[in-house]
């Protein structure tokens, strides 16, 4: 289980509840510099902490090695900053994450709120938030921004053996959102990418979580055979 947008107060409550449910939680570093949001990773077997990507806000990622049926698997829980944050923090976060994911060849799972893409097309291509709603590249963002956002998508990770669990099941003909405006419309910002997948048996968004007001994002559930 990968949770994003936990705070200092809710991290303690989540840790208690997850432990009571028989899981072993691993929290990322506490938020610093006046920031509030962190991440928590939990599994049935104790996660072994591993070095996370060297991102500007370290509390936005937690990495671990998990024993899944006798196989060691790298797992990363990531929450990307939004585009409006200053100092290219989103771009730098996603660049470091791409390098982390591309390294090595071991089975790897990355889950979380990537805050991208802006749009996916039936041919499998995608637009980042470096583009306007009509697809024009914003001069103030440019090619580096585009490359950073797409660098954590299957469009540029496929060459390293990754599959997008949702698209592996549903293809690109199905439109989906995981964060929505109150008046309708939204984006598919939450993802599960896997390297070493033999088969993806299920991947769905649980919109009831968002519609009930428990989160402003839908939950994502995946069942992957490594």
pLDDT tens string 170-205: 999 999 999 999 888 999 999 999 999 999 999 999
Domain of residue 179, residue span: 2-225
CATH number, domain containing residue 63:
3.60.10.10
Exposure class string for 168-199: b at 16+ Cβ within 10 A, else e? bbeeeeeebbbbbeeeeeebbbbbbbbbbbee
pLDDT at 112: 98
For residue range 10-29, what is the model confidence (pLDDT) as tens digits? Answer: 999 999 999 999 999 999 99
Q: Are 65 and 83 in contact (CB under 8 A)?
A: no
The pLDDT score that the predictor gives to residue 68 is: 85
pLDDT at 159: 97
**Is 78 in contact with 39 (CB distance < 8 Å)?**
yes
Q: What is the pLDDT of residue 8?
A: 87
Model confidence at 70: pLDDT above 90: no
% pLDDT > 90, the chain: 94
pLDDT in the model for residue 78? 98
Say what the pLDDT of residue 69 is.
79
- What is residue 182's predicted lDDT score, i.e. its pLDDT? 83
Rounded to whole angstroms, the Cα distance separating 90 from 95 reads 9
pLDDT surpasses 90 at 209: yes
- Kindly give, in sequence order, each residue whose CB lies less than 8 Å from that of residue 133, ignoring residues fewer than 6 positions away: 118
What are the tens digits of pLDDT across the range 128-183?
A: 999 999 999 999 999 999 999 999 999 999 999 999 999 999 999 999 999 999 88
Q: Which residue has better confidence, 70 or 202?
A: 202
- pLDDT one-digit tens code per residue, 76-119: 999 999 999 999 999 999 999 999 999 999 999 999 999 999 99
Residue 119: the pLDDT is: 96
Q: Considering its fold, how many domains does the chain have in total?
A: 1
């Amino acid at each position: 289980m990968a949770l994003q947008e936990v705070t200092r107060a809710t991290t303690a409550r989540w840790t208690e509840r997850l432990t009571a449910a028989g899981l072993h939680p691993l929290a990322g570093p506490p938020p610093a510099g006046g920031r509030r949001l962190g991440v928590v990773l939990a599994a049935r077997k104790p996660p072994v902490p591993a070095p996370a990507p060297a991102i500007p806000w370290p509390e936005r990622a937690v990495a671990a090695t998990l024993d899944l049926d006798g196989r060691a698997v790298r797992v990363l829980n990531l929450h990307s900053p939004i585009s409006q944050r200053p100092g290219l923090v989103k771009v730098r976060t996603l660049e470091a994450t791409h390098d982390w994911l591309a390294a090595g060849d071991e089975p790897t799972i990355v889950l979380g709120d990537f805050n991208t893409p802006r749009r996916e097309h039936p041919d499998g291509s995608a637009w980042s938030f470096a583009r306007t709603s009509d697809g024009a590249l914003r001069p103030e963002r440019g090619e580096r921004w585009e490359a950073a956002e797409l660098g954590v998508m299957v469009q540029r990770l496929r060459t390293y053996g990754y599959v997008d669990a949702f698209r592996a099941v549903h293809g690109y003909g199905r439109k989906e959102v995981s964060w929505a405006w109150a008046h309708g419309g939204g984006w598919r910002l939450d993802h599960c990418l896997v390297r070493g997948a033999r088969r993806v048996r299920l991947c769905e968004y649980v919109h009831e979580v968002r519609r009930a007001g428990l989160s402003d994002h839908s939950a994502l559930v995946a069942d992957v055979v490594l």
